[in-house]
Structure 1
């Protein structure tokens, strides 16, 4: 055990995590020159196209240091805030973290929040100043920032460059000397923490785990504590670039397990693996539950594909534990799922992955939350979609969920953030300065205002610095109404929304304008209306395309032209009666782009 080191690389977006991981793999000769490519660990097409890391990737390296051979388990993590759950799970499987800071950009928002995640788990932090070979690098100023943030000695900061391969030896030496060997007792019952899983269509589900106590051998009968299911460990091994089967995985090491698990629901990330004959008394404390920030409906384009989509969602959830979902129905779109995401980027990525990896074309609806509706008969209903809302004359009052939102930001952004929160009907409860630069703001605000684009706006206003944490407080009575959208008099429930009365008129007007741009013109006129109950509050018209029937008619009396126009008018009338409107996918997302 004393020759094992488990560490992860954490940093803000684009500070060079994946590039540094490449250099470490090259330097320890884990990969040959032929296998090498830039951002080697980002194996998803989406990651390569966008140049971001979406999934954490674990890989094992061997390194000779002072004549002794060490096993290093490296986990490369994403930097974007929408994938911070991946980071928190990687941290749970490590004893140390390399904290990278870009020498030209300095300490940024995710640097701080990822650092706190690591410190709360008691990890040893090794500060690395990356990209020192850039012409715009400011190594001395950034070192000052890092000293303030970490309270470390200036000499502890390792100058490096992932691109040019500077400082790689020093980093490896620091990992071996500063990061403690895993603690754990190899002689007691097996306890292993599942921190990731992948679906393999040939071999079932591959579980990736870290052994905390005891050891696991090939062929052992193991049990997953949370689900209570038992399996045979058909194959275990370590994660190199390819999987490497082994006979035993010792205490403190990271490995994978294949036992032909077919059902995705049986594997929970954060669960504990133990032996069937000598089970461990208690599970390992896993990670905290994930908090979705945005809820939206995902529907298959063909209703008959509902079951396939359910399977696709289960397989995707294995690989992305931050995705939360439950089935729901809609009158306009049929059967689908209500999903919780960590942010707008997360929602976009999930939609893309469903289309690419599982060939599912999906329609996404308006994000929303759950409301409590008290009817005139005194019954209480839970309403999570506008289509479930009763008629206004049957409603006594409506309660909406309120949250306590804690925002940590730099002091220079307080003004715009206060304005944003007030616009979202927030009440400022507390404001306190953590340091001269950093402020904590505590608001009470409706969850419905937060799920839309609040988080994205907060990030934009504060240039990525503000961090948001929230907890549910209670339900409070609010003046909420259901805003219906009608096309040629037919209600479209997928476009309806539950909004506050003060915002209804503006919302309806903007939504109608947006839809007018997005809905293609037909041969008949389309009326787009927003209504509260029976009262129409806004209207836009998509004008009809018309054939030029007067083209062949030149000269002569006006009555000839009028005859042709009358004939066209009759035909149009007939069309309007049976005309149904095709709505493009963008129209369902129009609500998100209102502002």
Structure 2
């Protein structure tokens, strides 16, 4: 456990979060040159086209520092204010956060709101000044703004550029040195936090979780505490660029779970997974039902298409549990 680091990235939209994540994946050789593409973790066409992260992703990197191997779990967070609950669950799965600020645009509202979420969860904050290679960059002034906001020292701020890869090595070293290793007891009953889920048309809902206490094994009978539903863990594993199946996900680590769940509403972000035979008595704090933020009225042009519309909405809901209709 002492060699695991779980961290997320906090930034305003368009401050270079996804590009910097690409550089981290390149530097740790998580991605081969053949697989590399811009905004690698944004896999929806809309995300790439608009340059925003809608669906958060988790990916595991391996990094060798001073002769020791470390496992770095990057838990990506969406950049938009309407996803504040999803962001809060991603943050709850981490021990540290990279606070990325654009050297040309300075600190923006989104950065501050997510920063407060991180500070509430006692995360170790590593400030990163991004896009320092731009002609319009103003590193001295923006550095002073960061010091005012965080109360850190000037030398704690890492200067970097996601475009050129400048400063990425320093970021990786800071993740290992400054972010604490996860706490937890592997002999306690299983307690794991669900912070994301993805719909796979062939295998059902894939649950992305972080183990707080205990460990989760392949074939184990598990229980979701908020719904009370029980399942068998058909497959567990870690998330590289592709899924890597494993027999056991240990305490403090991040992984995925496939157990043939068909309905997205059975998996609630923020819920606690525990062992069905020896359950834990406590849920992980902070769970709440997602509240809708954006409202829209949708009607078919032709009344005969009403059933088709409903079927389409149901399919869309499979992929995104935050949709309510």
- TM interval, shorter chain, is over 0.9
SS of alignment partner, residue 265 of structure 1: helix
CA distance in 2, matches of 1:37, 1:313: 27
CA distance in 2, matches of 1:298, 1:224: 33
Give the TM-score of the pair, scaled to structure 1: 0.53
Q: Which residue, out of 282, 305, 309, partners 2:308?
A: 305
User: Offset at 1:291?
Assistant: 4.0
1:295 maps to 2:298: no
- Which position in structure 2 is the counterpart of 1:32? 32
The answer to which structure has the higher strand fraction is: 1
CA root-mean-square deviation:
1.4
- Which position in structure 2 is the counterpart of 1:314? 317
Q: Within 5 Å, which residues of 2 pair with 1:19-98?
A: 19-98=19-98
CA distance in 1, matches of 2:287, 2:99: 21
For residues 494-550 of structure 1, the C-alpha deviation after alignment (integer angstroms, 9 at most, x for no partner) is xxxxxxxxxxxxxxxxxxxxxxxxxxxxxxxxxxxxxxxxxxxxxxxxxxxxxxxxx
The answer to which structure has the higher helix fraction is: 1
- Which position in structure 2 is the counterpart of 1:551? none
SS of alignment partner, residue 62 of structure 2: strand
Distance 1:181 1:163, change over 3 A: same
Q: Within 5 Å, which residues of 2 pair with 1:562-581?
A: none
CA distance in 1, matches of 2:62, 2:43: 22
Q: Is the CA contact 1:17–1:76 (under 8 Å) kept in the aligned structure 2?
A: no
CA distance in 2, matches of 1:179, 1:283: 25
- Which position in structure 1 is the counterpart of 2:113? 113
What is the number of equivalent residue pairs in this alignment? 322
SS of alignment partner, residue 135 of structure 2: coil
1:127 maps to 2:130: no
CA distance in 2, matches of 1:294, 1:232: 35
User: Offset at 1:300?
Assistant: 4.5
Q: Within 5 Å, which residues of 2 pair with 1:467-486?
A: none
CA distance in 2, matches of 1:123, 1:5: 12
- Which position in structure 2 is the counterpart of 1:253? 253
Q: Within 5 Å, which residues of 2 pair with 1:66-465?
A: 66-301=66-301, 302-318=305-321, 321=322, 323=323, 325=324, 337=325
SS of alignment partner, residue 320 of structure 2: helix
User: Offset at 1:161?
Assistant: 0.7
For residues 439-498 of structure 1, the C-alpha deviation after alignment (integer angstroms, 9 at most, x for no partner) is xxxxxxxxxxxxxxxxxxxxxxxxxxxxxxxxxxxxxxxxxxxxxxxxxxxxxxxxxxxx
> Larger Cα Rg: Structure 1 or Structure 2?
1
CA distance in 1, matches of 2:70, 2:63: 5
SS of alignment partner, residue 195 of structure 2: strand
For residues 328-349 of structure 1, the C-alpha deviation after alignment (integer angstroms, 9 at most, x for no partner) is xxxxxxxxx4xxxxxxxxxxxx
Identify unmatched segments of 5+ residues in structure 2: none
SS of alignment partner, residue 101 of structure 1: strand
Q: Is the CA contact 2:22–2:40 (under 8 Å) kept in the aligned structure 1?
A: yes
Q: Is the CA contact 1:55–1:86 (under 8 Å) kept in the aligned structure 2?
A: no
SS of alignment partner, residue 297 of structure 1: coil
User: Offset at 1:285?
Assistant: 1.2
CA distance in 2, matches of 1:192, 1:46: 31
CA distance in 2, matches of 1:186, 1:44: 36
CA distance in 1, matches of 2:124, 2:28: 22
CA distance in 2, matches of 1:165, 1:130: 10
CA distance in 2, matches of 1:212, 1:65: 25
Distance 1:108 1:48, change over 3 A: same
Distance 1:300 1:258, change over 3 A: farther
For residues 278-314 of structure 1, the C-alpha deviation after alignment (integer angstroms, 9 at most, x for no partner) is 1111211134444434433334551122541352243
Q: Within 5 Å, which residues of 2 pair with 1:524-535?
A: none
Identify unmatched segments of 5+ residues in structure 1: 326-336, 338-595
Distance 1:112 1:229, change over 3 A: same
Give the TM-score of the pair, scaled to structure 2: 0.95
SS of alignment partner, residue 298 of structure 1: coil
CA distance in 1, matches of 2:141, 2:101: 12
